[in-house]
Amino acid sequence: MNDLHLAPPFLRPLPLGRVKPQGWLKAQLQLQANSLSGALDEFWPDVKDSAWFGGDAEAWERAPYWLDGVIPLAFVLDDARLKEKAARYVDYILTHQHDDGFLGPKPEEDAEAYRFDVWPQYLAVKMLIQYHEATGDERVVEAVARNLRWLDGSLDRRPLERWALYRWFEALIGIFWLYEKVQEAWLLELAVKMHAQGFNWAAFFENYPLTGRTPTGRWNYMGHVVNNAMAVKAHGLWQRLSGDERDCAAVYDMLDKHARYHGTVTGVITGDECIAGLSPIQGTELCAVVEYMYSLELLISALGDPAWGDQLERIAFNALPATFSPDMWAHQYDQQVNQVECSILEGRCWTTNDPDANIFGLEPHFGCCLANLSQGWPKFAAHTWMQTADGGLAAVAYAPSTATCRIDGTDVRVDLETDYPFRQTLRFRVSAAAPVEFPLLLRIPAWAANAAIQMPDGSVAMPQPGEFHSIRRTWREGDEVVLTLPMTPRLEPRPGQTAAVVRGPLVYALKIGEAWRRVHEDHPLRQLPHADWEVYPTTPWNYALLLRRDAPALDAVFSEHPVGELPFSPQGAPVTATAPGVRLPRWEMCCGSAGEVTPDVLAVRGESEVLTLIPYGCSNLRLTEFPVVPQA
C-alpha cells in the first residue's frame, strides 16, 4: 500500500468560475437560469421540500443532482440569485452532516429502498467540491474528509450494492480531490477498496454481450444507459492510480463498442432506459446525454485525447439542446434521432419506458432527468478551457468564452470571440499584466482539413487535424491568434443504407412543421410555463436524400443567418441548408415513430424537391438519418 501513487492528470480543469461564457453560450446559460434549472426549488416538491433541506419529500438523489448542475450554473454566470440559493442549501447540508460523516437524510438501517446504496454520497461530495472551488469554503474540505472516512468504514461492513456498485468510480472524483489537498495514504487505500468492490467494466466490455437492442421490459444495471454514460470514464480515472496501460485501453474499448453497437450520429448512445442498438427511432435518455458529456470532460482532463473534444462538441451542440424546448421550460426523457412525432401512445418502441417518454414536459416518464438536466451546459462551459502541466492553457472545446488564470506570477486572460459552431472563425485575444511565456494549445478537430492559424506576427500555421496544436511564445497584451476551421459538408454513413448530413461539429436534420398541443392540464404542477406538450408534424417528413449519379456526393447549399436570442430553435437557426430530396409515400409512421425503410418503401418515389435542413440542436421534430437514393 505504501507504493500507491496518484499521477497528475494530463490537463487540469480551471477552478469553477475561472471560465466565463460569452456570446451565445452566455445567453443559453441565462436562458437556463431563468427556466427550469433556476426555478425547481420554488415549485417542484422533490427539490422544494427535499429531505436534504429539512423537508419531507424525496430523500435520495434528486436534490444533490439539482445542486450538481445549479452550482456550476450560478458561478459560471456569476448569478447573484442562484449563488444565494446554492449557499443556502449547501450551508444546510454542511451544518446537518451526521456525526459519523454521512451527508443528507440518513435512511433507517433496514430501509429497503436505500439499503447499502451509497451512490447519493458520491454525488453529494462531487457537488460540494464544485462549491469549494468557486467559494473557497473550507468547511467543505472537512465535510468531505469526514464523509470519506465514513465510507471507508462502511465498506468493511457493507460492500457496495445496486447503483453504488456500478458507479463506484464516481467516488474517485472526491477521493482524488481530497488526496491532492491532504496527501493522506488512507484515501488511496479507500480508492483501491472501491475498485475492488465495484463492477469491473473493463472485463465486461472485453467479452461484451450487449450488442443489440435490450429486449422490451428487460432491465439490468450493466445495460442501463446512464450507468454506461458514466462508466466510460471509470478506467480513465482509475489509471491515475493504477498506472496501467490496460486501463487506458479499456477506455477506448468501451467507447468503440458503444459507437459500434449503440452509437448515434449525435455522439451519444441509445438507451430508453437500457441500451437499445443502432435504430434512429430508439431514444436516448437526457441523463445519459449530460453524463456522457461530463465523462468526456473528465477523460480529456485525465488522458488528453483531442478526439474526445470532437465527441464532446458533437453531443453538446446537437443532442443536448435538442432534448429541451427552445425556452428550456420543458424537456424530454427520450429524444430520437429520427423524431417525427412526440406523443403519448401505447406501443412505442422503448425498451422499458412509458408512452409519454418523448413528449416535452416537466417530468415525462420519471423525474431523474428533471433533477439532473442542469449540469450539461454549465459544466461544458466550465471545461472548455483547461491548464497544461507546464502552466499553459488548452482550449479543449470551443464556444465564446473568457478564461483567466495565473501563470508564473502573472495574471493572464484569454478571450475567445466566435460564433462557433455556427461559424468557422475563432479569434483568441490574450491579455497579460506583463509579458509571459506559456504554451497555448488549440484543439484541431479531426474533421478540420486545411485548418489555419494566423499568428500575432502575421504568419500562418497549417496544423494537423486531430491534434492539440501548441503555440509556445512570450505573450504580450493584445496578442491575437485567429483559428479558421473550414466546415466542409459531408455525408456520414449510418446503418441500413442511410446517411446523415454533417458540417463541422453540427449534424443537420429535415425541418418539419410543428403543432404543439398541451396535455395534462389538470395534473399537479403542469401550469405554464412548465407544462406538458405533445408535438405533431404539420409537413411531410418521409423523404430520402437524392444524389446525382455522376457526382455521388452531398449537393447542399448552406446559408448563414444572425445568431439571435434562441439559436437552438427552428425559427432561430443560425445556419440552414438546402439539398435535393424525394418523398417516399409508402414510408409511414408506426406507433408514433418513423417506420422501417424496406425495399418496398424505396420502390415508389415522388418528384424531386428541395429540402430545408437545420442543425439538429435547433429541431424539435426531425429526420436525421435519411435513406439515400440516386437520381432516376
Listing DSSP states for 514-578 in one string gives EEEEEE-TTSTT--TTS-EEEEEESS---EEEEEBTTB-S---EEEE----S-SSSTTT-SEEEE
Grid cell, residue 554, equals 452531398
Name the domain boundary from 154, 180, 198. 198
Please say if the pLDDT value at position 267 is more than 50. Answer: yes
pLDDT in tens, 78-115: 999 999 999 999 999 999 999 999 999 987 655 544 45
Do 188 and 63 belong together in one domain? yes
- pLDDT single digits (tens) 23-36: 999 999 999 999 99
Quick one: residue 408, left, alpha or beta (phi over 0 = left, psi -120 to 50 = alpha)?
Answer: left
- What mean pLDDT is predicted for residues 69-86? 98
Predicted pLDDT at 609: 94
Domain count across the chain: 3
Among 198, 223, 238, identify where a domain stops.
Answer: 198
Whole-number Å distance between alpha carbons of 219 and 200: 19
> What's the confidence (pLDDT) of residue 1?
42
Q: What is the percent of the chain with per-residue pLDDT over 90, rounded to a whole number?
A: 91
109-156 residue pLDDT tens: 555 444 568 999 999 999 999 999 999 999 999 999 999 999 999 998
Same domain assignment for residues 626 and 606: yes
Give the structural domain span for 424: 390-484
The answer to the question of residue 369 being in a domain is no
Model confidence over 427-442: pLDDT tens digits? 999 999 899 999 999 9
Residue 496: per-residue pLDDT: 87
| Residue 426: inside a domain | yes
What integer pLDDT is reported at residue 113 of this predicted model? 46
pLDDT digits (tens, 9 = 90+) for 499-551: 999 999 999 999 999 999 999 999 989 999 999 999 999 999 999 999 876 66
Residue at a domain's end among 484, 500, 533: 484
* 380-390 pLDDT, tens digit each: 999 999 999 99
Domain contains 465: yes
Say if residue 177 is in the same domain as residue 136. yes
DSSP 618: G
Asked if residue 433 and residue 577 are part of one domain, the reply reads no
Cα 300 from Cα 464, distance rounded (Å): 19
Work out the mean pLDDT of the chain and round it to a whole number: 94
Q: What is the mean pLDDT of residues 263-276?
A: 95
Give the pLDDT confidence score for residue 157 in this predicted structure.
86
Residue 16 falls within a domain, yes or no?
A: no
**Pick from 438, 373, 392, 7: nearest CA to 188:** 7
Q: Which of 284, 241, 248 is nearest to 264 (CA)?
A: 284
Residue 497 is predicted with a pLDDT of 86
